[in-house]
């Protein structure tokens, strides 16, 4: 009896690649498909031959056996019957669906009996102090999450029972609907993609296979971290489904407002109140920093708004070894709750100052000069209008 030549059926050479075999199969399957040749028995038989040839040659193990032993290497009964046992159109819906999966992105999930899903990522908001952000810290947090149920070991079934294969999808987690020439695959409506049905749910997790609880872990805060930055804790998210990998935990940092310092990147800013006497005569004051106390010399005649920089007294950069600076903004403080004697001395001081007003208060003189020029210009404009 004549040996069946599967390569000839697909019209390819014996050294054709897998891609060439698939391309030829697509072309011939479209040509001889029963929907395109209604009532043509010859076309239907040809279509079955093409389907059978592709089933063997698209499988590496079957193709190797066929190349070495012929049809006897893949199906002795079929060899004896000269290829009379084609599987029919129902099996075509399963294999031919691969073509449309390639076209429309279906992938190969049809072949897996259950769907495996990665666990969901979790987010945790962690509030820390500016000192902890500057120097680094280790924080212990409790994160709400789902853990694999210890009673049923994640199966979801009551101890002593097992989930059974879903009869609707046969354990594949998906069902295929044939609509004319097209094959559409969708999640099984009965098992929701798991491939199994739980007849007797676990009393602890109620069939979910996992329970909600809190887990405690330590998070290392690197020095220099800032608000809005996230720390990734790999594998500390929710557990996967059907053996999938767990998700990740993202710890989002929020730095509390500080009573003294305001942060700007790696730099710090603070207000530095000084007395009128210190501002006028100069002196030395103590400045708080995140590393302790620093002493700062105030030169005579210091004005409100002047800024003094302390190099390296800011925040360490989270990515390298550099440090920011500390900027001290001077605020000359007006004394309050004065005694009668203090008021008397200030009036005396004011009277003496009038003799040297222009030299000792240059900003005041400049401002008064601009005011006079403003009103003088207004008088000139008014005079010009009158004739």
Which residues participate in the annotated binding site for Zn(2+)? 149, 152, 166, 169, 188, 191, 202, 205
Task: Enumerate residues 6+ apart whose C-beta is below 8 A from 237.
Answer: 119, 120, 121, 122, 145, 246, 247, 248, 249
Beta strands in 82-209 (DSSP E): 122-128, 137-148, 164-165, 174-179, 182-187, 196-197
CA 346/CA 348 separation, integer angstroms: 5
Q: Is 191 exposed, middle or buried (0-12, 13-18, 19+ CB in 10 A)?
A: buried
- Residue set of the binding site: 149, 152, 166, 169, 188, 191, 202, 205
CA-to-CA separations, 143 to 146, 147, 154, 216, 249, in angstroms, rounded: 10, 11, 20, 6, 9
Q: Is there a contact between 373 and 366 (Cβ–Cβ < 8 Å)? A: no
Query: Residues for the chain: how many in total?
Result: 387
CA-to-CA separations, 23 to 26, 28, 99, 228, 254, in angstroms, rounded: 5, 9, 10, 52, 57
CA 4/CA 256 separation, integer angstroms: 79
Q: Is the C-alpha dihedral spanning 252, 258, 263, 266 positive or negative?
A: negative
**Pick from 263, 349, 250: nearest CA to 314:** 263
CA 296/CA 310 separation, integer angstroms: 9
CA-to-CA separations, 47 to 24, 81, 201, 279, in angstroms, rounded: 13, 18, 47, 100
How is residue 158 written in tokens?
């009551």
CA 44 centroid distance within chain: 52
CA 135/CA 49 separation, integer angstroms: 74
Q: Is there a contact between 263 and 255 (Cβ–Cβ < 8 Å)? A: yes
């Amino acid at each position: 009896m004549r040996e069946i030549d599967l390569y000839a059926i697909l019209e390819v050479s014996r050294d054709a690649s897998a891609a060439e075999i698939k391309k030829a199969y697509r072309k011939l399957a479209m040509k001889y498909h029963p929907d395109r040749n209604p009532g043509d028995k010859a076309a239907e038989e040809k279509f079955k031959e093409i389907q059978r040839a592709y089933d063997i040659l698209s499988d590496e193990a079957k193709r190797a056996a066929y190349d070495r032993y012929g049809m006897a290497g893949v199906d002795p009964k079929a060899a004896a019957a000269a290829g009379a046992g084609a599987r029919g159109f129902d099996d075509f819906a399963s294999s031919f669906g691969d073509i449309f999966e390639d076209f429309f992105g279906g992938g190969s999930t049809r072949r897996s009996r259950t769907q495996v899903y990665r666990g969901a990522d979790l987010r945790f908001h962690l509030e820390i102090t500016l000192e902890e952000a500057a120097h680094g810290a280790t924080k212990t947090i409790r994160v709400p999450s789902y853990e694999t149920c210890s009673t049923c070991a994640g199966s979801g079934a009551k101890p002593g029972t097992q989930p059974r294969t879903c009869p609707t999808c046969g354990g594949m987690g998906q069902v295929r609907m044939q609509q004319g020439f097209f094959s559409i695959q969708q999640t099984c409506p009965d098992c929701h993609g798991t491939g199994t049905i739980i007849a007797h749910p676990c009393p602890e997790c109620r069939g979910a296979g996992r329970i909600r609880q809190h887990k405690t872990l330590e998070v290392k805060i690197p020095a220099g971290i800032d608000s809005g930055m996230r720390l990734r804790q790999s594998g500390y998210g929710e557990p996967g489904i059907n053996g999938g990998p767990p998700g990740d935990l993202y710890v989002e940092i929020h730095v509390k407002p500080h009573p003294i310092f305001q942060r700007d990147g790696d730099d710090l800013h603070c207000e530095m109140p000084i007395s009128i006497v210190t501002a006028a005569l100069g002196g030395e004051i103590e400045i708080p920093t995140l590393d302790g106390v620093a002493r700062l010399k105030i030169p005579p005649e210091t004005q409100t708004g002047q800024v003094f920089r302390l190099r390296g007294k800011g925040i360490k950069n989270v990515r390298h070894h550099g440090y920011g600076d500390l900027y001290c903004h001077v605020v000359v403080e007006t004394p309050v709750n004065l005694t009668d004697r203090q008021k008397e001395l200030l009036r005396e001081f004011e009277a003496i100052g009038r003799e040297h007003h222009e030299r000792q208060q240059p900003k005041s003189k400049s401002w008064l000069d601009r005011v006079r020029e403003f009103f003088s210009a207004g008088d000139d404009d008014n005079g010009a209008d009158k004739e």
